[in-house]
Amino acid sequence: MLQVLNVKGTVNFLRHALPISILSAVLVLGSIVTLATKGINWGLDFTGGTVVELEFSKPADLNAIRTNLSSESVAGALVQNFGSSRDVLIRLPVKDDFKSEDQVNDVMAAVTQLDSAVIQKRVEFVGPQVGKELAEQGGLAVLVALICILIYVSFRFEWRLALGSVAALAHDVIVTLGVFSLLQLEFDLTVLAGLLTVVGYSLNDTIVVFDRIRENFLKLRKSLPEEVVNISITQTMSRTIITTGTTLVVVVALFLKGGTMIHGFATALLMGIFVGTFSSIYVASFLAIKLGINREHMMPVEIEKEGADQDTLMP
Amino acid sequence: MLNKYPMWKNLMVIIIISIGAFYAIPNLFGEDHAVQVVATRGAEVSASTMSTVNEVLKSKGIAVKRSELENGQLLVRVNNGEEQLLAKEAISDALGDKYTVALNLAPATPEWLEAMGGSPMKLGLDLRGGVHFLMEVDMGEAIRKMTEAKVADFRTDLRAEKIRYAGIRNGAKGIEIKFRDAETLTKAENFLKSRSNDMVFQDKTVGDDYVLVANPSEAYLKQIKEEALQQNITTLRNRVNELGVAEPVVQRQGAERIIVELPGVQDTARAKEILSATASIEFHMVDEKADVQAAMSGRVPAGSELYQRRTGGPVVLKKAVMLTGDHIQGAQPSFDEYSRPQVAINLDAKGGSIFSNVTKDNIGKPMATLFIEYKDTGEKNADGSVKMKKIEEVISVATIQARLGRNFVITGLEHAEAQNLALLLRAGALIAPVYIVEERTIGPSLGKENIDNGMQAMIWGMAVVLIFMLVYYRGFGLIANLALTANLVMVVGVMSMIPGAVLTLPGIAGMVLTVGMAVDGNVLIYERIREELRNGRSVQQAIHEGYGNAFSTIADANITTFMTALILFAVGTGAVKGFAVTLMIGIATSMFTCIVGTRSIVNAIWGGKRVKKLSI
């Protein structure tokens, strides 16, 4: 039998809990500071504006494009490579007196001077008011997701665990956002989808651990919550490593092979999986212990719930 | 006995997975090159059209794979892209301009499969290329139009009732009606209230000004907006059909917005022009008594208004509208005997009788055709919305020679204008102007690239996961791999079955992610079984406990993920929605395959037997 984790007895995960939670707190604070100072590099979906994706017949000279664009009076254009040296992305800000079509025409006029065989692969224009609405909706989505989870976990488990899991999720979201802000990666709609997936994934992880904690509180009759949590984490560790591993593999495949349009999505997930796995132990469980979770908290809910569940399972 | 499934449970698993697999099959067949024929107004695609088309193609030596007549449109499948172009030309030559002939790609699902409701997944624009527009309806204009009509109603009503008013206008606070004394105001208020219960009346008398203000009620306002949106969707749908696009999407989004998606369209300029143009025509009598010079210096007679001719020069028209464009049923561009462009118009029955009445009384007098169009000025209002400009031009003034009926012609246009006007009139007028707030164009090559990338990611990710599971869990790993594959097939099957589900690039990402996360259920179960075995349970006990204990964990974990997907679906648009849909389906199918599906195989192999060692 192959095994990723071969441990005898219990690993004392919580021994390092304090320094690691301090590290976590520092990460969160650092992310908040970065977010406050550098902000987020909002993508087109949120800012409004025009994006033109071009494919040149030979590696493109970005500087020449920039020079040509400014002479064509397309002000404030952001020119960057996108995927390969032949693919170029040009972002134009929203202008008050704009006509998106004119902007695109000007861009095409400028780039065809450099390469007559250039292909226009994608053009997107988003009005500023749509972008603003999306940003509000996106923030609202994350908030609603967190509240729903708080309610569900409180109902299914216990409020201390619910708070622990939501704190862990908030932690993941903030740290992932922090990295996006620090590296100034573009935050678009697919990244938002990625972020919500991170919420789902990280929660998945937390719930698995919590489920074990609840079970062990009842089965083991140990009095020290730390012990129970340590045992539970040890027992679920090999599952955590395997699932994280397989998910990571496919996300890496998406990152490498999925193409440039879902790069942001894959990046958000990649970070989220690391942070999420780690936070389910050191943020969610640790916070629940600090909130004073113990055996009695599990008892009353347990008897009804688990009993009801078990019946349906018996064949 | 432990770990034995009853027959019905095994059957259920087999049936559910087979159904999923069956509906996934159409995705294997790819697409046929096809030509689509749609009738524009006044014409009809019938069986005889079909036989004409088939004959034309036969005479040109183009082999027809299959031709179908469905929902008033004809779809002719041919063998390749080259023949498709030839066929399109031949068909449009043969049928003339009453039909729109467009190139199309039709799913090559065999007929028997199609008859059973099988169809491939619908691809989003990011996977096949095309234009996406998000349009906003100018509700201010819709409401203004309604209040304007109310002003006219009030005027006639009050006159008919012989209630004297000092003035009536469409002001900033609503419709303001002035009276000379309080008594008349009360009388008018009672009378109007009894006649229009969709308006809210307020007595705004200040000092000697006896003013009654009328505003639409909340419910009526909502109704106006709803109607404006619905009517605009219908009109846009008609116009999109005129463009001859295969499988267009015209959908409402929220209370004021409309999504239009045109797959395969690359000429965005023309698409935009036709979609956002708000044009209509009105017929007015020319005010012959008016002095044009005086009107130009501001002295326009009451009941008349000064307009500009398209060809230049002013003309004074009576304000009263003889007929509006709403009654126009058909419009075809053609040429008169001097080969000048003209538009032949035919009216509906009501329009016909109105028109014949007014023209009868005005034979020998000049009548003007007023062309009204809303254009994007490029400027913006304070709230960020686009400022629209109303352009009114007199396109023709003609003397009424005889009583006109339901059919007549408008002249005085350029050739291209005649074409466009005919198209716009046929498609119906937009009740309120719309403007584009979001526009995305995806090239077809990029769409193909996106599919290839997504597929590659899926194959690589899947391969690594399958190999790992096999090596790590051996026998049980093989079962997990079967479940994983069945899961993927079922996601595709369900996506193909649900009419509204569209596969997008993030949707493919969602599928890829499902592969990674679906493993979790199996891993949870297997790790449990291993644990039980380590704790010295018998093989049968371990399997039983393993599945039993993992169940609530899997359920809890998946329900929470499902919740986030649901929220994503609720707030997301387009591509993000696509991702949420695939994720939700993936969660449901992966729970089914890993809990019930693998159990039935495990039970069949090991259940109820004396087993010493498990391959796990």
Nearest alpha carbon to residue B247 among B502, B595, B564: B502
Chain A partners of B457 at a C-beta cutoff of 8 Å? 250, 253-254, 256-258
pLDDT per residue over B508-559, tens digit each?
888 888 887 789 999 999 999 999 999 889 999 999 999 999 998 999 888 8
Contact yes or no for B322/B355 (Cβ under 8 A): yes
Q: What is the pLDDT of residue A253?
A: 92
Contact yes or no for A266/A251 (Cβ under 8 A): yes
Rounded CA gap, B372 and B462, in Å? Answer: 59
Rounded CA gap, A159 and A153, in Å? Answer: 7
Q: How confident is the prediction along chain A (315 residues), in pLDDT tens digits per residue?
A: 677 766 677 888 888 888 988 999 999 999 999 999 999 999 888 888 889 999 999 898 898 888 888 877 677 788 988 878 899 999 888 775 556 677 788 888 888 888 888 888 898 888 878 888 888 888 888 888 888 888 988 888 888 999 999 999 999 999 999 999 999 999 988 898 888 888 888 888 899 999 999 899 888 877 788 899 999 999 999 999 999 999 999 999 999 998 888 889 999 999 999 898 889 888 999 898 889 888 888 765 444 444 454 555 444
Measured in residues, chain B has a length of: 616
**CATH label of the domain that carries residue A120:** 3.30.70.3400
Contact yes or no for B516/B465 (Cβ under 8 A): yes
Residues A183, A241 share a domain: yes
Contact yes or no for B282/B289 (Cβ under 8 A): no
Nearest alpha carbon to residue B30 among B92, B75, B97, B77: B77
Nearest alpha carbon to residue B481 among B527, B544, B523: B523
Q: What is the pLDDT of residue A306?
A: 47
Residues A205, A63 share a domain: no
The whole-angstrom distance between A313's CA and the closest CA on chain B is 6
Contact yes or no for B507/B579 (Cβ under 8 A): yes
Nearest alpha carbon to residue B193 among B208, B215, B172: B215
Q: Which domain holds residue A115?
A: 49-126
Rounded CA gap, A46 and A188, in Å? Answer: 7
Rounded CA gap, B242 and B426, in Å? Answer: 9
Exposure of B129 in the CB half-sphere (CA atoms within 13 A): 16
Contact yes or no for B586/B518 (Cβ under 8 A): yes
Does B417 or A24 have the greater pLDDT score?
Answer: A24
First-residue to last-residue Cα distance in chain A: 29
Q: What is the pLDDT of residue B387?
A: 61
Rounded CA gap, B205 and B182, in Å? Answer: 8
Mean pLDDT of B23-28: 93
Structure tokens at B349: 């029955």
Nearest alpha carbon to residue A34 among A176, A186, A188: A176
Q: What is the DSSP string of B564-615?
A: HHHHHHHH--HHHHHHHHHHHHHHHHHHHIIIIIHHHHHHHHHTTS--S---
Which residue, chain included where needed, has tokens 């995960």? A13
Residues A285, A146 share a domain: yes
CB distance B385–A235 less than 8 Å? no
Contact yes or no for B35/B91 (Cβ under 8 A): yes
| Residue finishing a domain among A126, A161, A185 | A126
Is residue A309 in a domain?
A: no
For residue B442, the SS3 value is: strand
Contact yes or no for B546/B559 (Cβ under 8 A): no
CB distance A127–B456 less than 8 Å? no
For residue B220, the SS3 value is: helix
Contact yes or no for B37/B99 (Cβ under 8 A): yes
| Residue finishing a domain among A97, A126, A155 | A126
Tell me if chain A has a CB within 8 Å of the CB of B511.
no
Domain total of chain A: 2
**CATH label of the domain that carries residue A200:** 1.20.1640.10
Rounded CA gap, A2 and B27, in Å? Answer: 38
How many beta carbons lie within 10 A of that of residue A3, not counting itself? 10
| Residue finishing a domain among A103, A126, A149 | A126
Which of B259, B568, B603 to mutate to test binding with chain A, by most A CBs within 10 Å of its CB? B568
Contact yes or no for A70/A78 (Cβ under 8 A): no
Residues A158, A291 share a domain: yes
Is residue A6 in a domain?
A: no
Instruction: Point out the residue among A126, A192, A309 whose CB comes nearest to the CB of B438.
Output: A126
Nearest alpha carbon to residue B381 among B140, B599, B207: B140
Tell me if chain A has a CB within 8 Å of the CB of B273.
no
Residues A200, A262 share a domain: yes
Residues A294, A201 share a domain: yes
Tell me if chain A has a CB within 8 Å of the CB of B580.
yes
Tell me if chain A has a CB within 8 Å of the CB of B259.
no
Residues A86, A26 share a domain: no
Phi-psi group of B96: left, alpha or beta (phi > 0 → left; psi -120 to 50 → alpha; rest → beta): left
Residues A275, A146 share a domain: yes
Rounded CA gap, B410 and B401, in Å? Answer: 13
In this structure, are strands A186-187 and A41-42 parallel, antiparallel, or unpaired?
A: parallel
For residue B17, the SS3 value is: helix
Strand partners, A120: A54
Rounded CA gap, A135 and B77, in Å? Answer: 45
Residues A289, A163 share a domain: yes
Q: What is the pLDDT of residue B545?
A: 92
pLDDT per residue over B424-462, tens digit each?
666 666 767 788 888 888 888 888 889 999 999 999 999
* Reported confidence tier of residue B277, pLDDT bands at 50, 70, 90: low
Is residue A5 in a domain?
A: no
Phi-psi group of A221: left, alpha or beta (phi > 0 → left; psi -120 to 50 → alpha; rest → beta): left
Chain A partners of B270 at a C-beta cutoff of 8 Å? none
Q: What is the pLDDT of residue B316?
A: 92
The whole-angstrom distance between A272's CA and the closest CA on chain B is 13
Q: Number of CB pairs < 8 Å for A and B?
A: 232
Taking all residues of chain B, what is their mean pLDDT, rounded to a whole number? 84
Rounded CA gap, B57 and B78, in Å? Answer: 10
Instruction: Return all residues near A283 (Cβ < 8 A) that are at least 6 apart.
Output: A21, A24, A164, A167, A168, A171
pLDDT per residue over B559-606, tens digit each?
888 888 888 888 777 667 888 889 999 999 999 999 999 999 999 998
CA–CA distances in Å: residue B229 to residues A7, B236, B280: 65, 10, 18
pLDDT score of B476 more than 90: yes
Query: What's the whole-model pTM score?
Result: 0.78
Q: Which residue of B has its CA nearest to A204?
A: B557
Instruction: Point out the residue among B379, B383, B457 whose CB comes nearest to the CB of A258.
Output: B457
Is residue A117 in a domain?
A: yes
Exposure of B551 in the CB half-sphere (CA atoms within 13 A): 19
Is residue A284 in a domain?
A: yes
Residues A146, A205 share a domain: yes
Rounded CA gap, B250 and B261, in Å? Answer: 7
Chain A partners of B484 at a C-beta cutoff of 8 Å? none
Q: Which residue of B has its CA nearest to A264?
A: B506
Is residue A4 in a domain?
A: no
The whole-angstrom distance between A117's CA and the closest CA on chain B is 15
Chain B partners of A237 at a C-beta cutoff of 8 Å? none
CB distance B439–A199 less than 8 Å? no
Helices (H) and strands (E) in chain B, counts: 17, 23
> What is the rounded radius of gyration, in angstroms, for the C-alpha atoms of chain A?
25
> Which of A294-303, B56-65, B130-139, B244-253 has the weakest average pLDDT?
A294-303
- What's the gap between Cα A118 and its chain centre? 35
The C-alpha angle A12, A15, A20, rounded to 5 degrees, equals 120
Q: What is the pLDDT of residue A174?
A: 95
Is residue A308 in a domain?
A: no
- Strands (E) across B349-446 are located at 366-380, 386-399, 407-411, 434-442
Q: In the 8-state DSSP scheme, what is residue B286?
A: B
- What's the gap between Cα B363 and its chain centre? 45
pLDDT per residue over B222-235, tens digit each?
988 998 898 888 88
Mean pLDDT of B406-410: 82
Chain B partners of A313 at a C-beta cutoff of 8 Å? 548, 551
First-residue to last-residue Cα distance in chain B: 22
Tell me if chain A has a CB within 8 Å of the CB of B442.
yes
Q: What is the pLDDT of residue A313?
A: 46
Q: In the 8-state DSSP scheme, what is residue B206?
A: B
Is residue A2 in a domain?
A: no
Does B271 or A176 have the greater pLDDT score?
Answer: A176
Residues A176, A61 share a domain: no
Phi-psi group of B169: left, alpha or beta (phi > 0 → left; psi -120 to 50 → alpha; rest → beta): beta
Rounded CA gap, B486 and B153, in Å? Answer: 66
CB distance A204–B558 less than 8 Å? yes
Residues A199, A100 share a domain: no
Q: Find the farthest-apart pair of alpha carbons in chain B and give their distance in angstroms, rounded.
A: 110
